[in-house]
Structure 1
């Protein structure tokens, strides 16, 4: 008789613990209109792609026939590239979007977050925007989508920019807390409604070399966009996807001029992976940025965009 009583006490304790945690750390989704008011000011626009109202920005030189298209990484949004267009748009057309699962775009209706699905999404987005050829760049997940897109649609990519890109197997020195929580059985289900704000800030700090650059405004943006309806479940779904282990074998087939840009303090995808891209790509330029982490376009925007401009100018003069 003693065991059932102890079990009952344990279950009641767990129930009250869940209630307390929910009260302290539970957050409701933020209404989309409220998020749009804050994060979709001009030059933001929306367009329907594959049943989703996709958030994007299209800036710069309208006469540029080969625009720069930028793709963000996991848990991020188009805002991670906010500083780059200021240094590029006088000469180039710069296009970026919130990938499905992140930012204001929201989840894929079928919850398929494979790289293949993302590649097809980019194809449909470019078709809708009338972009037949582009300079394609991406960070982390966006980098993997970029080079995978290039292997499938090489005729649509003029040049490639890979920023701390995923693709090769790697062992992270440090993984953002949100990534770890979203992979834990049972706990990951609670993550869809219990999302401590501190996790968002900790996860952003994890991918920065200089933690002091993670401002309250920056941390709030990451956190609040996570609370767009469907994004928390999509985050868990994306990190639960099985990843192909041999896709990197196609990297050596990429002929386009490629910039491999990496932060030397990247603890998520180590700088050794930059050397792997450099070894396998037949036509690449490798630049390692000192004192920069996993998101150099956001952490050191001026230094990183100068490298991009030098790469583009050099290739145009070849």
Structure 2
């Protein structure tokens, strides 16, 4: 199966998508902050024989438009996801969200629960508060973009990747090139600034208690970006949450454990052990 590529217009933004629509259960893949659909590049070839797939670059990242007029909030990202579901006429969607993408998935579940069959959260962000007011005010200063760029480039991409990989030997030149690419995109730093400005806090425990959708949480035990205790708390707050912890795995589960992630997704969606699809 070959994934198609196109830009679609959602919420007045040109959004880049990779997709293959079949009669099989749909998966919609959402990456995290400063990332792209490349987050799932090792996972998609494993998924494509068993699922319809839609992966997108969120506005502000990758090949999607980075308009300075867009309000980069979780709610607006959820509207983008809802629009994507409508555009591709998907039903009973299974949303896979990594890191910040997990929080976007949760906001989407809150917004359109009737459209979603399940959530699969990969090291999802959780319980982060909104940026403090003083720092939000700073985003309006003329040279704030330069500050953001300086912060991003404090460490080389290889060093940043060492923070999200448990096994550093898995880091390749391809990883470095692909994760560096978004940082060089025109408009990226304006989008990041506006994300800092408009991002709401993560859903509260009370809000999570109201999400009844079955939710699988997959976590690396050695995750240094979003520690496993966040996953444990999410699993308690989500009424139908189930947590699986992967040993010797960091934040970027899709790169370190693509086969295991695929097996867990397959078994959760189809409700049968892998190899016994009914």
TM-score bracket, normalised by the shorter chain, equals 0.7 to 0.9
- Residues 223-242 of structure 1, C-alpha deviation per residue, up to 9 Å, x if partnerless? 12222221122123223445
Aligned to 1:314: 271
> 2-side partners of 1:101 and 1:48: how far apart?
14
What does residue 102 of structure 1 align with? 61
- Contact 1:51-1:109 at 8 Å conserved across structures: no
Distance 1:210 1:241, change over 3 A: farther
**Alpha-carbon offset, residue 198 of structure 1:** 5.0
Tell whether 2:16 aligns with 1:55.
Answer: yes
Residue 279 (str. 1) matches residue 228 (str. 2): no
1:74–1:141 contact (8 Å) kept in structure 2: yes
Per-residue deviation, residues 239-266 of structure 1 (Å, max 9, x unmatched): 3445336634211112222111111111
2:146 paired residue number: 190
**Closer/same/farther in 2, CA of residues 239 and 292 from structure 1, 3 Å limit:** farther
Match of 1:68 among 22, 27, 30: 27
| Number of matched pairs | 264
Alpha-carbon shift at residue 80 of structure 1 (Å)? 0.7
* Maintained 8 Å contact 1:106/1:228: no
Tell me how far 1:162 sits from its aligned partner: 0.8
Deviations along 1:109-148, one digit per CA (max 9) or x if unpaired, are 4241111111111111221222243011101110001011
- Whether 1:204 aligns to 2:161 is yes
Equivalent residue, structure 1, for 2:193? 236
Is the 8 Å Cα contact of residues 67 and 135 (structure 1) preserved in structure 2? yes
**CA 1:251 to 1:303, structure 2 compared with 1: closer, same or farther past 3 Å?**
same
Q: 1:259 aligns with which of 216, 227, 239?
A: 216
Query: 2:89 corresponds to which residue?
Result: 130
C-alpha displacement of 1:53: 2.2
Task: Answer with 290-299 or 96-105: which moved more.
Answer: 290-299
Q: Of Structure 1 and Structure 2, which has the larger fraction of its residues in helix?
A: 1
**Whole-angstrom distance in 2 between the partners of 1:44 and 1:52:** 16
**Would the alpha carbon gap of residues 246 and 43 (structure 1) be closer, same or farther in structure 2, given more than 3 Å must change?**
closer
Gap runs ≥5 in structure 1: 1-40, 171-181
3-state SS of 2:9 partner: strand
In structure 2, how many angstroms separate the alpha carbons of the residues matched to 1:239 and 1:159? 29
TM-score by length of 1: 0.75
Write the distance in 2 (CA, Å) between the matches of 1:224 and 1:114: 23
Structure 1 residues 186 and 264, CA gap change in structure 2 (3 angstroms): farther
Cα shift at 1:104:
0.6
User: Which one has the largest radius of gyration?
Assistant: 1
Partner of 2:105: 146
Preserved CA contact (<8 Å) 1:62 1:93: yes
User: How far apart in 2 are the matches of 1:125 and 1:305?
Assistant: 23
Query: Structure 2: where are the runs of 5+ without partners?
Result: 130-137
- Secondary structure in structure 2 of the residue aligned to 1:76: coil
How far does residue 193 in structure 1 lie from its aligned partner after superposition? 6.2
Q: Residue 271 of structure 2 aligns to a residue in which SS?
A: helix
CA–CA distance in structure 1, aligned partners of residues 27 and 188 of structure 2: 26
Q: 1:7-22 to 2 correspondence within 5 Å?
A: none
**Superposition deviation, residue 51 in structure 1:** 2.8
